[in-house]
Chains A and B, each alone.
Chain A
Amino acid sequence: MESVERDSQMTYTIRFRDEACSQAEPGQFVMIWVPSENECPMSLSEIGTPAAITVRPVGRATEKLCKKKEGETIWVRGPYGRGFTIRGASNLLIGGGTGIAPLIPLAEKLVESGRRVTLILAGQTASTIPLLSRARRLEKQGVELIYVTEDGSLGFKGVATDPLENLLKERRFDQIYTCGPEEMIKKVYNIAKANKIPIQASLERYIKCGISLCGSCAVGRYLVCSDGPVFHENQLKDLENIW
């Protein structure tokens, strides 16, 4: 393990060296083992050497993880699952809370390949939005940033989908990518569908095995660990009846 950085009031970014993770796709996840505690699925928030996860300490395993020191061992298996597929010239990314984590490396990849990126970052309050410094770096590289907070402490006051509808009235996007609370994803999906824009959404379920065996991450006819976590509009359509 290389470093732990507190990247917002609620989240820590933990960097580590792992060959497979250095070549992962944005949106893929890893299983992080905290001995004697648990093993948890985490999206990669940085891809390369080092790679990173961004963790919100919410239980004993994640609390222990965030207290790790440089040079200690971190147990990583993966990366697993299907990440985001890059397509289209103009891209709209919508992240809510820790769901912002996989969208940052995606935005970086989109920018590197010379595509237009608009990134909506949503959270309860300014200090809890993860990875703000990297978002600001992206802004310098030409990414349009839109902030939304429930208390209005940064950007628009409201929820992620508020600026989305206005934005789609003004402009056309080729592709929408989203990750965050499922209620937000459902709304984004419905808006994308109404506007006939292809969408990729990263879903979250309780993942146990991570390799398509145990079925604990079932969502309709799909498994989040292997069919996802990133699902495309044709798959999301199958989930309409269970949403």
Chain B
Amino acid sequence: MNAAVDLSVDLKGLKMKNPLMLASGILGDSADLLLRALESGAGAVVTKSISLEPREGYRNPTIVAVECGYINAIGLANPGAKAFLEELKKIKDQNQPIVVSLFAEDAQKFGELAKAFEGSCAKAYELNLSCPHVKGVGLEVGHDPELVKKIVRCVRQSSTKPIFVKLSPNLPNIVEVATAAEKAGADAITATNTVRAMAIDIEAAQPILSNKVGGLSGPALKPISLRCVYEIYEHVKIPIIGSGGISSWRDAVEYLLAGASALQIGSAVAYEGLEIFRNICKGLASYLGSKGYRSVAEVVGLAHKN
């Protein structure tokens, strides 16, 4: 790795050795696996989205591979706040860069969740206001700027931790919702979650996913999320975490240039395994070094200046 290049990122107090985070939902809710992602080179990890009560999620098929990505509808399966708090206690070094993803039906429950994790090792919260396939939560609460404001304020009142707000690429006006989140006190915007999608099997003549509709991730999502990051960057001052189809250091650079200060990796873990974190860091450091940059921050949003 290029020693002259500093890959570290401080995202409103979340200190990461590099800008790459494990995206929420990947590898699930086991403390051991989150630690393994960190050992494998991730700058931070975002947990599976956690709700107050446990959720079983959908029946299989919950994922289907399509031409240029995956469509999943896991159904926000999670053990619930109480069990997950116990899981987080297993982590010996409580200073690890762990972001807990939260979801709930309304602002008050979001506040309760944040309060529940206040004493945990979570270094920040990511509010899932964008899951595309579960009724009454995710995108269904994240499409309304006023509701988003209310949720962020409720979490802000319950917590001193940084708050990231994860938005959906399905929003007709993502800038409006991002701006609302910023006004309500969010510390960063994660752009984006997966985009609503479907696959049909022509032999069975039915949708493949048991939930019929899921979220598309992977290479197909990249140009869509990248545009979201670019647009949000023009209108908000808080940092943006780019997420959607990043599978190489070139993708990572594109997102940084579009305005992302940090990046999340999800589906690419299936293509390349956890080695992907080190591989992208290596490519990123070498790109930055070859262009004469000494830090990640120097290229963030550069595409807007050219």
Shortest CB-to-CB span from B87 to chain A, Å, is 11
| Complex interface bits, B262-287 against A, C-beta within 8 A gives 1, otherwise 0 | 00001101100100000000000000
For B60, the closest partner residue in chain A by CB is A39
From B25, B63, B70, B273, contact of A226 by CB (8 A): B273
Shortest CB-to-CB span from B122 to chain A, Å, is 18
Residue B254 CB within 8 A of the other chain: no
For A72, the closest partner residue in chain B by CB is B203
For A61, the closest partner residue in chain B by CB is B60
Which residues of A are found within 8 Å of B27, using beta-carbon distances? Answer: 212-213, 215, 218, 223
B28 touches A214 (CB 8 A): yes
Given A73-B203, A213-B72, A226-B273, residue A218 in contact with residue B30 (CB < 8 A): yes
Which residues of A are found within 8 Å of B35, using beta-carbon distances? Answer: 221
Give the number of residues in A that approach B within 8 Å (Cβ atoms): 25
A213 touches B33 (CB 8 A): no
Residue A208 CB within 8 A of the other chain: yes
Which residues of B are found within 8 Å of A215, using beta-carbon distances? Answer: 26-30, 33, 48
Which residues of B are found within 8 Å of A31, using beta-carbon distances? Answer: 60-61
| Complex interface bits, A133-168 against B, C-beta within 8 A gives 1, otherwise 0 | 000000000000000000000000000000000000
From B57, B59, B270, contact of A212 by CB (8 A): B270
Give the interface size class of chain B: 20 to 34
Which residues of B are found within 8 Å of A243, using beta-carbon distances? Answer: none
For B208, the closest partner residue in chain A by CB is A33
For B267, the closest partner residue in chain A by CB is A213
A218 touches B28 (CB 8 A): yes
Residue B65 CB within 8 A of the other chain: yes
A220→B72 CA distance, assembly (Å): 24
From A40, A213, A220, A222, contact of B63 by CB (8 A): A213
For A41, the closest partner residue in chain B by CB is B60
Tell me the dominant secondary structure on chain B's binding face.
loop
Which residues of B174-189 have CB atoms within 8 Å of chain A's CB atoms? none
From B48, B63, B203, B208, contact of A209 by CB (8 A): B63
A38→B35 CA distance, assembly (Å): 32
Residue B304 CB within 8 A of the other chain: no
Which residues of A53-77 have CB atoms within 8 Å of chain B's CB atoms? 73, 75, 77
Looking at A73, A77, A213, A222, which has the most chain B CB atoms within 10 Å of its CB? A213
A40→B267 CA distance, assembly (Å): 21
B74 touches A212 (CB 8 A): no
A-B contact count (CB 8 A): 88
Shortest CB-to-CB span from B60 to chain A, Å, is 4
B206 touches A36 (CB 8 A): yes
Given A40-B60, A220-B32, residue A214 in contact with residue B74 (CB < 8 A): yes
Shortest CB-to-CB span from A67 to chain B, Å, is 16
| Complex interface bits, B131-147 against A, C-beta within 8 A gives 1, otherwise 0 | 00000000000000000
Residue B204 CB within 8 A of the other chain: yes
For A73, the closest partner residue in chain B by CB is B203
Which residues of B are found within 8 Å of A220, using beta-carbon distances? Answer: 30, 32
A208 touches B63 (CB 8 A): yes
Which residues of A are found within 8 Å of B65, using beta-carbon distances? Answer: 77, 211
Residue B201 CB within 8 A of the other chain: yes
B26 touches A75 (CB 8 A): no
From B59, B63, B203, contact of A214 by CB (8 A): B63
For B30, the closest partner residue in chain A by CB is A218
For A208, the closest partner residue in chain B by CB is B62
| Complex interface bits, B53-76 against A, C-beta within 8 A gives 1, otherwise 0 | 000010111110100001010100
Shortest CB-to-CB span from B238 to chain A, Å, is 29
Shortest CB-to-CB span from A4 to chain B, Å, is 18
Residue B220 CB within 8 A of the other chain: no
B201 touches A214 (CB 8 A): no
For B29, the closest partner residue in chain A by CB is A215
| A residues whose Cβ falls under 8 Å from a Cβ of B | 31, 33, 35-36, 38-40, 73, 75, 77, 208-216, 218, 220-223, 226
Given contact pairs A31-B60, A218-B33, enumerate 12 new A-B contacts (beta carbons under 8 Å). Answer: A33-B61, A36-B206, A39-B61, A73-B204, A212-B273, A213-B267, A214-B26, A214-B77, A215-B26, A215-B48, A216-B28, A221-B32
Q: List 6 A-B contacts (CB under 8 A).
A: A33-B61, A213-B267, A215-B30, A218-B27, A218-B32, A223-B27
